[in-house]
Structure 1
């Protein structure tokens, strides 16, 4: 029996402000607050709220037959907390239905998986904690930024304890194989891989409203009929996209939400079900191992990481940022950590791309890739100075780690001693109280008023 795994990504770009070379050392705030507030409010109104409302209606109308999965970056959730908390409330309402799964991903929506295992692991742990805080469950399936995957990344994700991982069904990786099966990671056989069907996903997220597309207009019954016509043994249909596809990439006027509403009924007629990623990982056995020695993603025709690291500017910015990754992680300063999250976000590097693309890239305040590079490097220069000034720059990472470990151990020891003092004080008070009670028992007359009998004179 065929089953559809429907997944949506929710992430929000953090817009950097115009930052000049002469601002370095004098201005440590890097963000365009107006653009960030406006951007998240706009996408919440035009996409997230109507889309989530529609998905909730679909669950209520179809019971546990219809299911869907989401992943949210930590920085995206921070923006929602500040500027659009109603989106998180709607997601919690969806979570209460029991038909929704929330996945893990890097907190920053960054590229740490490509360069620094410790930073990557820490990010994932923080995002999982935030998902547990909001939705009451720790994610069991992982989704990397832009579906980035390789054999090495799969091994680390498996070592973190995840059961499965989402990635791209890229032709140069699959060859003659189909994306409609569950596979296992080459270096971690226990990690199951769910591969995105590129055509079926992009038919909705990229082409739905394109009147020049030969599949236009796309109706739910035709879409499901195409899925049903796949070979009988190809049972897993993974349709992955950004949630903003519903309302932004494909405007609401295109009837995109009406298309989604019709999917469950059409699927049920063809005997097609809906499943969450964890359900697929628990029920389905992998048919083969998938070898991915070179990193892949879901971006551009090449399906690789060249959109972020394809030119010398991008690589220079990337290498300079992660040159302080260990110091940031070791120092663990709250203000530095927040800037670190925002500066890691993959869009900062994508704005610097010089690759031609069929998808229009909105660079925001930047007039060119070089403009984006210059602005980012100015900010990065100030940030790195702050990191180095946090502790003496002549202390290497090993010394710094040892120093901070000593400080932490001393703090833990003081905390333990304080707790021991409090415990002993309570014990002393208890003993003193017991002693007073024993004294009263031994002298029962103590504290009572004596009665004197006055004798009368004869």
Structure 2
């Protein structure tokens, strides 16, 4: 029987507000709280809560015969804590079944694996600590941001203690080979590599509700028949997709939740498939060969490369300027700065700057809160400029920066003293006013009777 590995990615970025040039150095809060909460609540109601409900029912119903794998970025977990704690609880209910494997990734859903090994390790550790805190599991399988993978990255991942890694079954990498086998890393064969079956995965995540598709509508029975039609010698089918496929990208009225509900039962009843987590697949099968990936690949766009994030000068400029600050951030201990640093690294910021306008342009526009890549670049660089000023004050880069930081500290101290003096002066004036009011004698108003008033009027007439 073939193994079906069903894996979902969960991530939502922290979005920046419109941060203007004149905000630099004056306003250090960068986030669009309204947009972040509104979008998270919308996705929670459309996807996370109803999809988790369906999966929980199926996991309990099939009692170990149906299993899934999830990875949740640290950024998404933070948003659940802030805006939707019931979503976090619903994922914990899935974990409590014992039939869900949580995978590791970078805390910030960042591109740091391409740049710096030390920062990469730190982010992965921070992520796994949070996963262990909430779900009681220490991940042993790694899934990099956007499934970015190369021979060198795989070698690093193995040395960090992971036994397997997920990536895209890119055609230009596999050639004639099938993604439906287990592979190993070319540099370090002890790291096992699971390759995504992009054809079957995209049938669900992209084509499901497309009425122009010649296979529309897609049912669980039809999908399982396609799986049955695969070569009998193939060992596994890796179905990897965004969790937002269910209810967000493919809306409820498309029938996507019915598909999710029916698929496990139809596949199991066929007698041809078992559902296995990535860890179970690694223990169950042997790699058939090494997969050679000298240049990084991803699961994004038709090219399956890094061009979605680092494909133009805007993205390269922003990425370079960001990681120029890396060494000083490793020495920074300020918690607010560390939080802002984590959020600056979110790969979505680079994705918004993509200038693709052809085959994949529509997908990029769907996820983009900016009207153009250039607006996204300017907004991000304004935020980064302010962040750099703050970092210079805490961890100066050069002697000039140290002098500026020292002068700024003196100015800040004087401003603080001036503010306190002004406050004391206001308090003294207030007390003085109250004291004057307390010492003035009370003047009683003379009472006049109707008789007195009448006399006064008579006297006035006689005069």
TM-score range, shorter chain: 0.7 to 0.9
Task: Find the counterpart in structure 2 of residue 340 from structure 1.
Answer: 341
Which SS does the other structure have where 1:202 is aligned? helix
| Contact 1:151-1:185 at 8 Å conserved across structures | yes
| Contact 2:328-2:397 at 8 Å conserved across structures | no
| Contact 1:14-1:31 at 8 Å conserved across structures | yes
| Contact 2:151-2:185 at 8 Å conserved across structures | yes
Map 1:147-162 to 2 at 5 A: 147-162=147-162
Structure 2 residue corresponding to 1:392, chosen from 389, 392, 396: 396
Q: Distance between the aligned counterparts of 2:111 and 2:221, measured in 1?
A: 39
Question: For each residue in 1:56-90, what CA deviation from the matched residue of structure 2 results, as whole angstroms up to 9, or x when unmatched?
Answer: 01111111000001000001100011101111101
| Contact 1:185-1:193 at 8 Å conserved across structures | yes
Task: Find the counterpart in structure 2 of residue 433 from structure 1.
Answer: none
Q: Distance between the aligned counterparts of 1:362 and 1:374, measured in 2?
A: 20
Map 1:14-413 to 2 at 5 A: 14-271=14-271, 272-356=273-357, 357=360, 358-362=362-366, 364-394=368-398
Question: For each residue in 1:180-199, what CA deviation from the matched residue of structure 2 results, as whole angstroms up to 9, or x when unmatched?
Answer: 00000011111101111001
Question: Structure 1 residues 78-87 or 264-273, which shifts more?
Answer: 264-273
For normalisation by structure 2, the TM-score amounts to 0.84
Question: For each residue in 1:379-409, what CA deviation from the matched residue of structure 2 results, as whole angstroms up to 9, or x when unmatched?
Answer: 001111211211232279xxxxxxxxxxxxx
User: Structure 2 vs 1, CA of residues 67 and 28 (structure 1 numbering), >3 Å: closer, same or farther?
Assistant: same
Q: Distance between the aligned counterparts of 1:233 and 1:323, measured in 2?
A: 49
Q: Distance between the aligned counterparts of 1:159 and 1:29, measured in 2?
A: 38
Instruction: Could you tell me which runs of 5 or more consecutive residues in structure 2 were left unpaired when the two chains were aligned.
Output: 401-463
Q: What is the CA distance between 1:360 and its match in structure 2?
A: 4.9
Q: What is the CA distance between 1:365 and its match in structure 2?
A: 4.3
Which SS does the other structure have where 2:212 is aligned? coil
Question: For each residue in 1:123-162, what CA deviation from the matched residue of structure 2 results, as whole angstroms up to 9, or x when unmatched?
Answer: 0000000000011110000000100000110010000000
| Contact 1:119-1:326 at 8 Å conserved across structures | no
Q: Distance between the aligned counterparts of 1:59 and 1:199, measured in 2?
A: 26
Q: Distance between the aligned counterparts of 1:381 and 1:286, measured in 2?
A: 48
Which SS does the other structure have where 1:263 is aligned? helix
User: Structure 2 vs 1, CA of residues 120 and 40 (structure 1 numbering), >3 Å: closer, same or farther?
Assistant: same
Q: Distance between the aligned counterparts of 1:210 and 1:360, measured in 2?
A: 18
Q: Distance between the aligned counterparts of 1:332 and 1:340, measured in 2?
A: 11
Q: Distance between the aligned counterparts of 2:199 and 2:369, measured in 1?
A: 32
Q: Distance between the aligned counterparts of 2:66 and 2:15, measured in 1?
A: 36
Instruction: Could you tell me which runs of 5 or more consecutive residues in structure 1 were left unpaired when the two chains were aligned.
Output: 397-458
Question: For each residue in 1:350-381, what CA deviation from the matched residue of structure 2 results, as whole angstroms up to 9, or x when unmatched?
Answer: 11110121525236542211111011001001
Q: Distance between the aligned counterparts of 1:234 and 1:52, measured in 2?
A: 30
Q: What is the CA distance between 1:281 and its match in structure 2?
A: 1.1
Q: What is the CA distance between 1:332 and its match in structure 2?
A: 3.2
Larger-gyration structure (1/2): 2
Q: Distance between the aligned counterparts of 2:278 and 2:101, measured in 1?
A: 8
| Contact 2:220-2:263 at 8 Å conserved across structures | yes
Q: Distance between the aligned counterparts of 1:363 and 1:332, measured in 2?
A: 33
Q: What is the CA distance between 1:270 and its match in structure 2?
A: 2.4
User: Structure 2 vs 1, CA of residues 58 and 198 (structure 1 numbering), >3 Å: closer, same or farther?
Assistant: same
User: Structure 2 vs 1, CA of residues 240 and 395 (structure 1 numbering), >3 Å: closer, same or farther?
Assistant: farther
Q: Distance between the aligned counterparts of 2:145 and 2:151, measured in 1?
A: 16
Q: What is the CA distance between 1:269 and its match in structure 2?
A: 2.7
User: Structure 2 vs 1, CA of residues 395 and 106 (structure 1 numbering), >3 Å: closer, same or farther?
Assistant: farther
Which SS does the other structure have where 1:241 is aligned? strand
